[in-house]
């Protein structure tokens, strides 16, 4: 290896990663504690930071180092490949465009939040139109004559295309729809949770649950946000949650979900800190961690049995008289409006709808002025329920306001990966439920840390899942898990 070129390349990449962490902290601050009146200034700050980052990613010396370096060993090759990928993508996007996207999406986030709170679509549409115009331009620059949406998807899941996603969704949809019909028509229907659950008590329990799932509070913290998220990597990984006093599951399972993301980042090999491979390899793999923590582990019969006892101790009686009934309440299937609150059966149908809409937006087949009607028509067709207000419809998610086009399908890809990981994990840990029933998921989280999380971006996304599972990932294990679990709960 040309050590001088490699060391120079890696030193430059480390500084870039450190600056990216600073930019990420600005975003965290904006969503948690920043005063509302600072939004326009924060937009300028984010644009300035993006200008610095873009200039570093496109630095002519990077190309020279890449030409000179001859990496040896898996780690060095992965480091160089990640730098080369980032450099290639960055050089296709003009600096002015990158900065404008950063500025507009920073400001757009606050406009979206206010429009959502007021159920005022008209207040958000001009800003959304500007975001979509910029993202179309970015997609076209990246695609260089190819499909702009594919180019955006590739940012979140390298190697995946819109056609790949559509084929996967087409294969999954019939079994999901058939399962939903059986469950909604079943004679046995779990009861819903009913009562009032104090916010402070919920947050205390959510902290205890986060610690049980391995979240390291010495390198993290939990705050409140409109839309829960995880931010950071390595030694500073922060999460947020939200609280509804009538729905403690919102807080608890949002927390577990974000802990899955955070545990991934906290568990990457510390030797990779602030290097190109020192973070999660893709959003699909990232979502596999958050979804398996939340669903296959957190919503399991064993863990909910422990959670039921904890909630009775902390909140008193709340109308559900058994751990079995509580397990049914946690996993109750219903066609609700909100994606983040959706049960496991409906969740992927929410994603499929968003995928089709955003793909049409990026291709120019759907315009912003027609988005609300398109959303409402599709939701009624897919879920059999009419959207009652915009905050339950097209204003519910933060993603489009901040330009995350191509992100949504990685949630379902993450579910697919999680189904595969869960199948392999259960084969390796036959006594897992004994520990889960005591509120201890550590055998599973340690398995995931060893098999997936510690590798960071050392391998390609599908490679890390295949190596962990011992078989090629596919939707089969997820669909089998859903049919078995919910068939048992509903007696069908």
The pLDDT tens digits of the residues spanning 90-131 come to: 999 999 999 999 999 999 999 999 999 999 999 999 999 999
Cα distances (angstroms) measured from residue 463 to each of 19, 237, 356, 472: 29, 25, 27, 9
With a threshold of 0.85, does the pTM exceed it? yes
pLDDT of residue 228: 92
Q: In this structure, what is the dihedral angle of CA atoms 212, 215, 218, 220, given to the nearest 10 degrees?
A: -140
Q: Three-state SS for 40?
A: helix
* Residues in Cβ contact with 119 at an 8 Å cutoff, skipping those fewer than 6 apart: 389, 390, 391, 395
Structure tokens at 199: 């916010």
Distance between CA atoms of 359 and 69, rounded to whole angstroms? 38
Distance between CA atoms of 282 and 411, rounded to whole angstroms? 11
pLDDT of residue 280: 98
1 pLDDT above the threshold of 50: no
Distance between CA atoms of 104 and 118, rounded to whole angstroms? 21
Give the whole-number percent of the chain exceeding pLDDT 70: 100
Segment 161-169 mean pLDDT: 97
Look at strands 222-224 and 236-241 and give their pairing.
parallel
Distance between CA atoms of 55 and 58, rounded to whole angstroms? 5
List beta partners, residue 237. 232
List beta partners, residue 232. 237
Catalytic annotation, residues: 258
361 pLDDT above the threshold of 60: yes
List beta partners, residue 254. none
Q: Which of 157, 159, 161, 132 is nearest to 149 (CA)?
A: 161
2 pLDDT above the threshold of 80: no
pLDDT of residue 319: 87
Cβ-based burial of 413 (10 A; exposed 0-12, middle 13-18, buried ≥19): buried
The H-assigned helical ranges of 268-340 are: 283-291, 301-315, 323-330
The one-character DSSP state at 50 is H
Distance between CA atoms of 45 and 26, rounded to whole angstroms? 9
Segment 21-48 mean pLDDT: 95
């Amino acid at each position: 290896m040309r050590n001088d070129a490699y060391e120079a390349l890696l030193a430059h990449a480390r500084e870039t990663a450190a600056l990216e962490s600073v930019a990420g902290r600005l975003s965290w601050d904006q969503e948690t504690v920043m005063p509302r009146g600072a939004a326009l200034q924060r937009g300028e700050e984010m644009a300035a930071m993006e200008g610095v980052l873009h200039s570093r990613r496109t630095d002519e010396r990077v190309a020279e180092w890449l030409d000179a370096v001859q990496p040896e060993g898996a780690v060095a090759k992965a480091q160089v490949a990640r730098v080369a990928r980032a450099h290639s993508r960055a050089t296709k996007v003009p600096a002015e465009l990158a900065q404008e996207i950063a500025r507009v999406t920073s400001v757009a986030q606050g406009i979206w939040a206010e429009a959502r709170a007021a159920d005022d679509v008209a207040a958000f549409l001009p800003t959304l139109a500007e975001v979509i115009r910029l993202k179309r331009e970015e997609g076209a620059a990246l695609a260089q004559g190819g499909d702009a949406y594919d180019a955006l998807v590739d940012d979140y899941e390298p190697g995946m295309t819109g056609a790949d996603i559509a084929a996967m969704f087409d294969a999954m949809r019939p079994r999901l729809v058939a399962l939903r019909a059986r469950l909604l028509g079943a004679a046995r229907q779990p009861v819903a949770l009913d009562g009032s659950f104090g916010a402070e008590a919920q947050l205390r329990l959510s902290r205890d649950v986060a610690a049980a799932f391995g979240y390291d509070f010495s390198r993290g913290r939990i705050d409140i946000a409109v839309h829960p998220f995880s931010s950071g990597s390595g030694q500073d990984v922060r999460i947020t949650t939200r609280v509804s006093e009538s729905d403690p599951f919102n807080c608890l399972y949002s927390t577990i979900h974000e802990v899955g993301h955070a545990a991934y980042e906290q568990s990457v090999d510390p030797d990779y800190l602030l290097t190109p491979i020192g973070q999660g390899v893709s959003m699909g793999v990232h979502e596999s961690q958050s979804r398996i923590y939340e669903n296959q582990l957190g919503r399991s019969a064993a863990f909910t049995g422990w959670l039921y006892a904890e909630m009775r101790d902390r909140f008193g009686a709340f109308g559900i008289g058994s751990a079995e009934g509580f397990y049914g309440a946690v996993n109750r299937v219903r066609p609700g409006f909100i994606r983040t609150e959706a049960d496991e059966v409906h969740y992927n149908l929410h994603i499929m709808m968003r995928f089709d809409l955003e793909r049409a937006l990026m291709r120019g087949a759907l315009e912003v002025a027609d988005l609300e009607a398109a959303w409402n028509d599709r939701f009624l067709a897919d879920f059999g329920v009419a959207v009652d207000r915009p905050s339950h419809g097209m204003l519910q998610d933060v993603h489009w306001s901040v330009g995350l086009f191509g992100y949504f399908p990685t949630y379902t890809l993450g579910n697919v990966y999680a189904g595969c990981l869960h199948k392999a994990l259960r084969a390796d840990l036959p006594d897992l439920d004994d520990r889960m029933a005591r509120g201890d998921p550590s055998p599973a989280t340690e398995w995931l840390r060893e098999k997936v999380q510690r590798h960071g971006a050392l391998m390609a996304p599908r490679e890390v899942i295949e190596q962990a599972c011992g078989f090629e990932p596919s939707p089969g294990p997820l669909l089998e898990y859903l049919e078995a679990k919910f068939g048992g709960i509903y007696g069908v």
